[in-house]
Structure 1
């Protein structure tokens, strides 16, 4: 019995996540938008401990208004887990518009294409 191999799927997911990374680095939501399902959501916790988020369009609005291009930004895909048509991923980002984030993504393979359906994040305290 052969074990499933996700090499091709892993590479396709990396491509999707790199759209997100590049869009953040350039402060250009049009670069990252294709990585997300139109129904995707984003959630995090404010400094006051309150839940914040909703439709992914909120991320695109923030990227377009509050972020600036950050050529110094560095991101690493810390992990990707894949099972069939579902996957999860973690990205750690430093120095993106003066912030550091850990992002967790849930992805689904829909009609042959990987897409982010949800993102949750943690904003690290500034040093």
Structure 2
């Protein structure tokens, strides 16, 4: 009897962990969707919901390392206009407690962006705290 109770409690505990991770997965998908949808629709207000105010973006431009505040970068880069012709994908999401990373792909006709986002759960909300990316020719 004691073994059955311990087994039952273990199963309940594992189920709760799986459910919590499913919930976090969905919340992370929502966060990265703000970024993807905001970019596709040229909607800065939606895009910035994905990022913590101090989030960084790091990349190589003309062979040189560049690091910028992500929100400030997109504030200058995004101008209202028609929806962009691109396809977006969430390749994977990895979660470890209150941190996660996600790999995203944004395909245009002649090139693609591969984005790696690092996220932290702050006060129950997932935010991108850093982004690195690579632009590849198709």
Q: CA deviation at 1:106?
A: 0.3
In 2, distance between residues paired with 1:68 and 1:39?
Answer: 29
Q: CA deviation at 1:99?
A: 4.5
Q: Deviations over 1:12-42 (max 9, x none)?
A: 0000111101111012211110110001000
Q: Aligned pair 1:109/2:121, yes or no?
A: yes
1:100 aligns with: 112
Q: Aligned pair 1:91/2:104, yes or no?
A: yes
- Scaled by the length of structure 2, what TM-score is found? 0.80
Q: Where has structure 1 moved over 2 Å in runs of 4 or more?
A: 1-4
In 1, distance between residues paired with 2:129 and 2:106?
Answer: 20
Residue aligned with 1:38, SS: strand
Q: CA deviation at 1:53?
A: 2.7
Structure 2: runs of 5+ lacking an equivalent: 1-9
C-alpha contact (below 8 Å) 1:92/1:102 kept by paired residues: yes
Instruction: Return the structure number with greater helix share.
Output: 2
C-alpha contact (below 8 Å) 1:80/1:89 kept by paired residues: yes
Structure 1: runs of 5+ lacking an equivalent: none
C-alpha contact (below 8 Å) 1:42/1:59 kept by paired residues: no
Note closer, same or farther for the CA distance 1:99–1:29 as it changes in structure 2 (3 Å cut): farther
C-alpha contact (below 8 Å) 1:103/1:121 kept by paired residues: yes
